[in-house]
Amino acid sequence: MAKRCTQPARSPSKARSPFRIRSSRLAPMNIALTYVSAWAPICLFPRSIPELCQKDTPNCSLQGETEGAEDASGTADFPHPAQSIHMTTAFVYDPFERNHSFPGHPECRERMESTWTLLQSDGILDSLTRLPNSPAPLDPILAVHNAAYVEQLQEICREIEESASDGNTIPQSWNQSALWLDPDTYVLHDSWKASLRAVGGLLQLTDAVMNGAAGNGFAMVRPPGHHARPNNAKGFCLFGNVAVAARHAQQSHGANRVLIVDFDVHHGNGTEEMFYDDPSVLFVSIHQYPHYPFSGSIDEIGLGPGEGFNVNIPFPAGVGDAGYRAALQQLVAPLAHKFGPDVIFLSAGFDGHWMDPLSGHRLSVSGYATLVEDLLTLAQDLCGGRLICTLEGGYDLNALPHCILSTLRVLSRNPAGISDPFGTVEGDPRAAGKVISTVNRRLGIR
């Protein structure tokens, strides 16, 4: 049976929305949308999903493939913000992710390979605390995902592995089989293990920050997670990495209130859905709209006790650095101060860069660095500097490495500063200002 989420205890005052909503209560939102592709894939050899995916499996027995993995759950209380801020920056990267990659797909191993090459040549890694990684145990994943879906994903990957071992590969030269869970999202025989390690890396980072071993950190993991829904994969994503980590911070570290900021160019529909009725998690998504996955309108504000704790800032195409920073300063910061988070998570998608093939925005490397700087300052003001970043999108193989390098320099206060080899492209400030004003009026922010 699907495992029920256990939410941390909250006083009535903590369950109030941090702002006034200028509208009557909305009808429940149907988040399930007609599927539209996130990219224009060249699916040369798509294969149908096994019948298993179409079956209901209410009674499932999961078999964890995590032999030798350490339990990623922690028990220590997180340091109080009044204590001195430990500014060590932790970093997670696991090269096993290379085993989850499909030729010609934008979400590919080359994203990390190009980034890793730059980080090594720059020397930034010497100033970071490298954390070991291991596959996530299943319990934290089942806190936000349906057990039937998790079992199906595990079984699909096992069937692919068995098929590949029989020599049934497509094409033979790739030495791998692939199945498509939707027009965008592929799985290979190692995708299950890679996904567990992506979640596991972020859990290790969460433990380090919440236990005070690090002040902040960045998990350079893939596959990404913010599109994954409780019951299915979506938009390149298999597990909701940041959602798993946020709930883990609550259940294992006693964080009562968690703020998740998502500045990926695509709306974080999966993260939104997992906390849509939960007032203990404030989710704020800044994204291009209309754009894949064609959710994330201003009217999506949460449901029931979670009404008012889901905030979307849907920018039209063409918004740049100034618009995003204005959203952080005029909307995110006031909301965060009213909410009072114990930790801030950042879904760091860099696909809003002006060079990115999946974006119509005009952000820059230096612009992203400024956003991270602002969020780090916010974390220092509100929650002892606890800012936990995890990679989402970013598909230009030149821009992405420099966005990540600049983020790490900001987090670690690296004296080298920010270097933007690609420069900036001016965005449309009027378009951003109109959306910010609309959201401001709707939420009654002061």
Active site residues: 227
Residue type, 314: P
The answer to whether 320 and 47 are in contact (CB under 8 A) is no
Say which residues have a Cβ less than 8 Å from residue 274's Cβ, sequence separation at least 6.
Answer: 144, 229, 230, 240, 243
Supply angle C-alpha 277, 280, 285, rounded to 5: 70
- E-assigned strands of 333-426? 343-348, 387-391
Residue 371 contacts by C-beta under 8 Å, 6 or more apart in sequence? 263, 324, 325, 328
Q: In what order do the strands lie in the sheet with 281-288?
A: 129-130, 89-93, 216-220, 387-391, 343-348, 258-262, 281-288, 310-315
303: its two tokens: 């449901």
C-alpha 74/C-alpha 77 separation (Å) is 9
What span, in angstroms and rounded, lies between the C-alpha atoms of 390 and 260? 11
Within 13 Å of residue 366, how many CA atoms lie on the same side as its CB? Answer: 11
Question: Residue 362: how many CA atoms within 13 Å on its side-chain side?
Answer: 16
Q: Compute the distance between CA of residue 333 and CA of residue 326 in angstroms, rounded to an integer.
A: 10
